[in-house]
Structure 1
Amino acid sequence: MARRELCSFRWNGTEWTTITTYSNSEFDSKSSSINHQNTMPAVNEPIRVATLNILADCFPWFIEMAVRSTERYEWLCEGIVNLNPTIIGLNEVTTNALQKLQECSFIRDNYFITESFDENNIEMKNCTNGLLTHHGSIILSKLPLLEVFAIPISGSKREAVVGKVELDNNLKTSVYFCAAHTTHHRKPKNIELRTQQIRGIVEILEPLKLPFVIMGDLNLYYQFEDAIVIENKFIDAWAQTHFSDIYPFNDKNEGYTFDAIKNTMIPYYSPGEIKQMRLDRILFSNGFPAFAIAPCGMWANEPIKSDNYLFPSDHFGLFIDLVTNVTDINKSTISVGEPDPSVEEILRRNAQNTDEKEIRFGLVRRTGALVSHIGWLGATALGLK
């Protein structure tokens, strides 16, 4: 696979301008000419890495009626403001979602972005980098994007998008962040395809000889798909900071980012769904030069309004706070560049559990859920709900 070179974009006060790639020192010298504040994190300020599959708005009308994308995208901008990530990867972004993001004043003031379209010609919605055919992944970064490129995903129209940043100016620590969205569904051929897709990304990133992160909706439906983590020598952010034997990284929270029990929106577009799965991941390459200062957390995991079923997405997002140097202030830390032995053993056992059974709905349960859902759709369409 060959990578595809891209540009990034930054708000200059009147429009989103194209930023060509250059070194961080060059960025410092040019920052005044593009008329925006340098939002580099202060020395010793934690770096917050986040990801979320936002749920696209390009599905059939009866799904859109249930997922109410206009309301969810309004929340998305508020959610990013409140989370305030240093760098975030978003999946299933459409031009409608991108428009909302580009219009958000907080994002304009603080982030570089890996995709843009001409806001003066919104009806055309032609994206500059071509990442959003149907829907795709983008990166928002407070850190200057020194290099941006896309990686083809085998068997998919989607591409993974990669941005190079400098985590620590003093240490000159350059790393790559990759936002990826692999093929969904539980079919055996798709399980194998996901393995190939992630390996394909690794084969592009490894020869660059810099640490990297692959994050996003990787659709790892089964525990035995943790084999991807073991085989590629990844450090899984959630597992590393929840499955360890070391306090406070030992609460054993399963970390389901797709949770049909807690996420009350899921049954409204997928009647009868009951699964809980750790689909979304933040995976660090071995040797990544950072330490987690708290367990990996979830966001977008509460209803938009307390009295309504609507959630920001069918997925919960992940975030993790990192530092590049351990100080007395950061007393409780764990490396994200070296696997914890107890965590590695758990993931290795998961990888060997190939007898894991598929959860299937009974015919009566599925029929009942569908009948109830059709009734709800009809009532909603008539304004009775």
Structure 2
Amino acid sequence: MARRELCSFRWNGTEWATITTYSNSEFDSKLCTVNQQNTMPAISEPIRVATLNILADCFPWFIEMAIRSNERFEWLCNGIINLNPTIIGLNEVTINALQQLQQCPFIRENYFITESFDENNIEMKNCTNGLLTPHGSIILSKLPLLEVFAISISGSKRKAVVGKVEIDNNLKTSVYFCANHTTAYQTPKNAQLRAQQIRDIVEILEPLKLPFVIMGDLNLHYRFEDAVVIENKFIDAWAQTHFSHIYPFNDKNEGYTFDTMKNTMIPYYIPGECRQMRLDRILFSNGFPAFAIAPCSMWANEPIKSDNYLFPSDHFGLFIDLVTNVTDINKSTISIGEPDPSVEEILYRNAQNNTDQREYRLGLVRRTSTLVSHLGWLGATALGLK
């Protein structure tokens, strides 16, 4: 698969300026400045890794009426402020979402970003790196981005976006973070395509001989798609920190990031939808040099307003807090660079249970009844009655 070098960007007080890719030696000389800018966490400070599919705003008007993107994107900036991640991958980012992110004072003060557009020429709607076609993945990082590139993946116009950072000042530990959004829909053909798309990324990253993370809406609809984790020797952050036998990483929480039982926006967006799936993942390469200090958690998993159906997205986000060394022997940690045997066994069983590969479709009765109900709601909303 093709690799394309990208720019990164940093707010300089007046604009999002293009950052020249740092070499390791240049990084050393810039370290003092970086610390003064509050972009490099202290050694003892955990590294918070996060991901979220924000749900794009480039759909037809009747979908936009249900998902109310302006309200959701306004929440997104506040959500990032409250979560305060060290590095975050976002999927389905459009020009409008990027504009909100670029104008957020907290993001300007704290993050490097992998895509930008000229705020003085908004009508042009052109992004510097060309990643949003019409939506795509971006990375925001408090850590300086030493290298940024995009990877083409099979059967998709979207690119996987990769940033190289140092996660440990003392050990000079460089790693790659990849934000990726694979092909959607629950069909056997698409399951095979998703597996290939992830292999495409691995084939680019593995030869670089550095640990890496692939995170985002990987759209793993079927349980047997856990084979992606087993075959690539990944450590799945949620599984590792919830399916283990080790306390407190053993609560067996299923971790559904697409959950129609909890996310009240989904039925308004996709009438008749009733599934619960672990679509979003944070996957670490084997040997990743860090430890989780708490179970992987969800964010963006509450309504924007308590008395309304609207959620930040149709997906819940994930985040995990890491340290690169364990200094407190009384603190519970678990490696995210070496698979827990009990977790590996569960994922292996899921991977082997591949007899049900049916394409997901709503039944005719359910589809008709939900569509009629939804059309009534749309009409009432358009008339101001809802």
- Judge same fold: TM > 0.5, yes or no: yes
Q: 1:231 to 1:33 in 2, by over 3 A?
A: closer
1:374 aligns to 2:378 (yes or no):
no
- Superposed, 1:151-166 pairs within 5 Å as 151-166=151-166
Please state how far the C-alpha of 1:235 moved relative to its aligned partner.
0.2
Q: 1:109 to 1:72 in 2, by over 3 A?
A: same
Q: What's the secondary structure of 1:122's corresponding residue?
A: helix
Contact 1:13 1:35 in 2 (8 A): no
Contact 1:112 1:142 in 2 (8 A): yes
Q: Render the CA deviation track for 1:127-170: whole Å, top value 9, x for unaligned.
A: 00011111000000000000000000110000000000000010
Contact 2:34 2:40 in 1 (8 A): no
- Superposed, 1:283-362 pairs within 5 Å as 283-328=283-328, 331-356=331-356, 358=358, 360-362=361-363
> What TM-score results when the alignment is normalised by the length of structure 1?
0.97
Q: Render the CA deviation track for 1:164-223: whole Å, top value 9, x for unaligned.
A: 000001011000000000000112111110010000000000000000000000000011
Please state how far the C-alpha of 1:79 moved relative to its aligned partner.
0.1
Q: What's the secondary structure of 2:244's corresponding residue?
A: coil
- Superposed, 1:181-220 pairs within 5 Å as 181-220=181-220
* 2:366 counterpart residue number: 365
Contact 1:242 1:251 in 2 (8 A): yes
Quick one: distance in 1 between partners of 2:350 and 2:204? 27
* Structure 1 range deviating more: 372-381 or 24-33: 24-33
Q: 1:330 to 1:72 in 2, by over 3 A?
A: farther
Which amino acid is 2:215 matched to? M
Unaligned runs of 5+ in 2: none
* Structure 1 range deviating more: 354-363 or 214-223: 354-363
Quick one: distance in 1 between partners of 2:301 and 2:33? 40
Please state how far the C-alpha of 1:3 moved relative to its aligned partner.
0.5
* Structure 1 range deviating more: 36-45 or 336-345: 36-45
Q: What's the secondary structure of 1:368's corresponding residue?
A: helix
* Structure 1 range deviating more: 184-193 or 3-12: 184-193
* Structure 1 range deviating more: 370-379 or 358-367: 358-367
* 2:128 counterpart residue number: 128
Give the total of aligned pairs: 385
Contact 1:21 1:146 in 2 (8 A): yes
Percent identity among equivalent residues? Answer: 86
Q: 1:35 to 1:43 in 2, by over 3 A?
A: closer
RMSD over equivalenced CA pairs, Å: 1.6
Which amino acid is 1:260 matched to? T
* Structure 1 range deviating more: 358-367 or 90-99: 358-367
* 1:81 counterpart residue number: 81
Quick one: distance in 1 between partners of 2:381 and 2:222? 35
Contact 1:242 1:249 in 2 (8 A): yes
* 2:385 counterpart residue number: 384
Please state how far the C-alpha of 1:122 moved relative to its aligned partner.
1.1
Please state how far the C-alpha of 1:362 moved relative to its aligned partner.
3.3
Q: 1:153 to 1:60 in 2, by over 3 A?
A: same
Quick one: distance in 1 between partners of 2:192 and 2:363? 27
Contact 1:24 1:166 in 2 (8 A): no
Quick one: distance in 2 between partners of 1:142 and 1:48? 10
Q: 1:36 to 1:326 in 2, by over 3 A?
A: closer
Unaligned runs of 5+ in 1: none
* 1:150 counterpart residue number: 150
Q: What's the secondary structure of 1:64's corresponding residue?
A: helix
Which amino acid is 2:377 matched to? W
- Superposed, 1:85-100 pairs within 5 Å as 85-100=85-100
Quick one: distance in 1 between partners of 2:363 and 2:21? 54
Which amino acid is 1:226 matched to? D
Which amino acid is 1:229 matched to? V
1:241 aligns to 2:241 (yes or no):
yes
Q: What's the secondary structure of 2:288's corresponding residue?
A: coil
Which amino acid is 1:353 matched to? N
Q: Render the CA deviation track for 1:21-64: whole Å, top value 9, x for unaligned.
A: 11355245347889971410011110000000000000010000
Quick one: distance in 2 between partners of 1:161 and 1:380? 38
Quick one: distance in 2 between partners of 1:155 and 1:81? 35
Q: Render the CA deviation track for 1:319-372: whole Å, top value 9, x for unaligned.
A: 000000011166100000000000000000000011236565332222111111
* 2:116 counterpart residue number: 116
Quick one: distance in 2 between partners of 1:35 and 1:95? 30
